[in-house]
Amino acid sequence: MTKLPLLLLLLPSLVFAQQKNIYHKGWVDFNKNGKMDVFEDPSQPINKRIADLLSQMTVEEKTCQLATLYGYKRVLKEEMPTESWKNEVWKDGIANIDEELNNLTSKTDAASTQYSYPYSKHADAINTVQRWFVEETRMGIPVDFTNEGIHGLNHDRATSLPAPIGIGSTWDKNLVRQAGQTVGREAKALGYTNVYAPILDPARDQRWGRVVECYGEDPFLIAELGKQMTLGIQEEGVASTLKHFAVYSVPKGGRDGAARTDPHVAPREMYQIYLYPFRRVIQEAHAMGVMSSYNDWNGEPITGSYYFLTELLRQKFGFTGYVVSDSEAVEYLYSKHHVAGDIKEAVRQAIEAGLNVRTNFTMPQTYIMPLRALVSEGKVSMKTLDSRVADVLRVKFELGLFDYPYVKDPKAADKIVHTPQAQAMGLQMNRESMVLLKNADNLLPLNKSSVKKILVTGPLAKETNYAISRYGPSHNPVTSVLEGIKNYVGNGSQVTYTKGCDIVDATWPESEIIETPLTAQEQAGIDSAVNQAKQSDVVIAVVGEDVDRVGESLSRTGLNLPGRQLKLIQALQATGKPVVMVMINGQPLTINWENKFVPAILEAWFPGPESGKVIAETLFGDNNPGGKLSITFPKTTGQIEFNFPFKPASQAGQGGANSWGKTSVNGALYPFGYGLSYTTFDFSNLQVSPEKEHQQGDIKVTVDVTNTGKVKGDEVVQLYLKQELSSVTTYEYDLRGFERVGLNPGEKKTVEFTLHPDDLAILDKNMNWTVEPGKFQVMIGNSSENIKLKKEFEVEK
């Protein structure tokens, strides 16, 4: 099957290929010398192939393997190779080309192209670009085609997933593995060889705009889901590049944009919270890529840090892939952090630290030329240069690019990308990401036969941009919440719509601190919604944030519903009609009034294109919400930092010894792991075996969970671990296991967990991971604050 596509693939340059005679049975003559070199021999060990290739490369060719070329329209000016490329720096090759011909939709750098769709056309186009590098450069080193993929592959009409914060709320490891496989499979079919996903940053400051792009706040949950996503992607023969290493997600004050710096994180906390997911995913899933972050830690910029990029990443964690910089992170060494006086010194610091590939929205020579000068001046040794290049080549060899550099069957892409099965998986992930926050008097699910007049209102009811936000697929048709509800109820109920208010008012965000009176137009909008509500059986208010209110460079200082949305909710609630509040948002919001007075609240996060369908199914009971919060909802920004896990008493109120007065709002609005259901569950028969174990042994934990309600539903069984006494202060308790279980009414299942020594380990006084002898408590619950069962075991010396 592959011979015919290969022949078709080579037709445009058949004369060239015959002249050079580079394509042979089982190998490619990349350096065009007429013989099979060691690096061209698939039977040779990779390290030997790397050494042989390096020995034949010039400094020019080596330095070109250490820079990214951003794809068409972002930096590259031509869609297809042209004669002028012979005069460009990449005539000597290039490490990778990012987001090439993916038809990116972005406010800042949209990159429309004719080659993104049909999918087979893109695969052919990637082959054409790859062929240029193989055939027209001296050594013929293939390109690593990179692309984003945190909620589905960042390509025109690829399969969409909900935003990562929604993926995190599924707590479904098997489904996340399937999602990774889908991303990897589609990438491979389209010609991409490296996907920038998953994001492993713990989102510990709810104000931070990129919370929407993270799985949540807890390092264990992030590690478990990130591991599955990475395994899924790489099982399809595509590299997974982890983002953003390291301590990136807690800039001072949660500020993003021009800030992205100065995390106030102690060393032990850095290891236990921020490095933990990276260590686990690198060691257990063997991710082939890591992206270095913009920020500093303790005054040391990560992208110029030997400690982070070499000692931690390679020597301690065992990473063997290549490190790519976040865009402009190298330049920040002199433009923001001021640890380098100019670009040349910044380049020197980065490459000495362990950076492999620099990425920026400029032509690659802005990095390559200073690097060549440093080598010629002896300021960067050939040994260092070779080591950095070897890491890049290793990934290319492991991906098989030196055995077959092309998409083998471009036409197959049309049958592989965005299949009905993949779309069904994405739809299921959307369903599982729904989190029911409140359901007073079982208002939900709504009864379609008894609810005849439905008002759908709110600024997000007809909005769709949240479903195609940055770093995921573009141009998929989106079903709005309004459309979804109309489609669901059909002709059986009357659905009316009025917007009620805009997402923000004219002076927002200043209006969060200096409120202005409602304009006549704003009052009329709310009045219209109120009048419609009075004539309705139920009000569905769709509120929250859109892509202009949360995301990269969009951190917030307040977390209330933006603009006049609370006023709309208050006016609707005052009608006495039942109000259901649907939230579409990317970060926890401080919805205190809403939680106190609105009877039903559904958290939908940023769902995918099927959002309207899924939300309608959930409101009317066809989808029983089983998602759980992967991040704490604080009551006020004044509580931040407020997260799980936490140190003993660090999030306590003002009761108890040496405490008096009432001066603060205490406790979580909704805790980590929280989420309601339309049914009920019971936990029983907690067993821990053995009850005494040595330091290197495993502990088996089993528990029974039963659906005690009347409808089918999913429960997330959560295992928390508490060490009763330790040599250093540890977290009050840690998440150390979870399983999402689907149960029919009356059905019981036994859930089994295995606690490994790594799950029990702490960083001791000498900063060594150690399992200390003593007593531990296993706690089983369905949120971090709703512990149902406890049992003790002991670790002996």
DSSP state letters, 455-476:
EEESTTSS--GGGG-TTS-BS-
Q: Which helix (H) or strand (E) holds 329?
A: helix 329-335
Beta carbons of 483 and 612 less than 8 angstroms apart: yes
Beta carbons of 157 and 473 less than 8 angstroms apart: yes
Convert the pLDDT of each residue in 148-201 to its tens digit: 999 999 999 999 999 999 999 999 999 999 999 999 999 999 999 999 999 999
Beta carbons of 601 and 583 less than 8 angstroms apart: yes
Task: Catalogue the E-assigned strands of 208-327.
Answer: 239-245, 289-292, 296-297, 300-301, 322-325
Three-state SS at 649: coil
Greatest pairwise CA separation for the chain in angstroms: 88
Nearest to 411 by CA among 121, 11, 145: 121
End-to-end CA distance of the chain: 60
Q: What is the pLDDT of residue 662?
A: 83
Q: What is the pLDDT of residue 20?
A: 63
Q: Alpha-carbon distance 39 to 22, whole Å?
A: 14
Q: Alpha-carbon distance 400 to 596, whole Å?
A: 58
Nearest to 414 by CA among 185, 181, 8, 119: 119
Q: What is the pLDDT of residue 437?
A: 98
Beta carbons of 44 and 392 less than 8 angstroms apart: no
Beta carbons of 242 and 741 less than 8 angstroms apart: no
Q: Which amino acid is at 214?
A: C
Q: What is the pLDDT of residue 16?
A: 43
Nearest to 60 by CA among 341, 429, 371, 447: 371
Three-state SS at 685: strand
DSSP string of 533-583, one letter each residue: HHT-SEEEEEEE--TTTSSTT---S--SPPTTHHHHHHHHHTTTS-EEEEE
Tally of CB atoms within 10 A around 377: 10
pLDDT < 50: residue spans in the chain = 1-18
Q: Alpha-carbon distance 786 to 797, whole Å?
A: 32
CB burial class (10 A; 0-12, 13-18, 19+) of residue 719?
buried
**Annotated active-site residue in 156, 326, 714, 734:** 326
Q: What is the pLDDT of residue 655?
A: 75
Apex 356 CA angle, 354 and 359, nearest 5: 120
Convert the pLDDT of each residue in 508-554 to its tens digit: 999 999 999 999 999 999 999 999 999 999 999 999 999 999 999 99
Q: What is the pLDDT of residue 18?
A: 42
Q: What is the pLDDT of residue 12?
A: 42
Both structure tokens of 279: 């260590």
Q: Alpha-carbon distance 761 to 692, whole Å?
A: 16
Is 326 catalytic? The answer is: yes
